[in-house]
Amino acid sequence: MQIKLDENLPADLAEILAELGHDVDTVPGEGLIGREDAAVWSAAQIDKRLLITQDLDFSDLRRFEPGTHGGIILLRLRQPSRRALIDRVRSVFHDEEVSGWAGCFTVVTESKVRVRKTLKEST
């Protein structure tokens, strides 16, 4: 799976996800730190990458309608420490069938994963 990690995530996640067989780009690695969300979004979509972020600006389903993009995983942890983010992402990519999330809008919390495939369908 092709993934783009937003700048609000630990850099270690790139290596962890790469070890799991994913092709990972990062916002810092592409020189996009501090750029507007539109630039990050554009970079992710050019390469059809699943964007992993904590940025609520990417949670508007009308603007980022499932099925029209490479996918979004929005991480919503109550206490998003570096360790908590790494552990949660690692467990999700180990325990869930993430390959089916391309084009979806997915919210990951400490205890749940909600996947929305279209505006009318969710799991």
- Identify the band that residue 68 occupies on the pLDDT scale cut at 50, 70 and 90: very high
How many structural domains compose the chain?
1
* Residues ≥6 apart with Cβ < 8 Å to 47: 2, 4, 25, 70
> Does residue 121 fall inside a structural domain?
no
Task: Please tell me the predicted confidence (pLDDT) of residue 120.
Answer: 59
d(CA 57, CA 96): 25
Dihedral (C-alpha) 85, 16, 14, 20: value to the nearest 10 degrees?
-120
> Does residue 86 fall inside a structural domain?
yes
- Start-to-end Cα distance in the chain: 20
Element (H, E) at 108: strand 105-108
Pair 119, 69: CB distance under 8 Å = no
> Does residue 122 fall inside a structural domain?
no
Write down the mean pLDDT value for the chain: 94
Residues 5-35: pLDDT tens digits?
999 999 999 999 999 999 999 999 999 999 9
Residues 82-101: pLDDT tens digits?
999 999 999 999 999 999 99
Task: Please tell me the predicted confidence (pLDDT) of residue 118.
Answer: 73
Task: Please tell me the predicted confidence (pLDDT) of residue 121.
Answer: 54
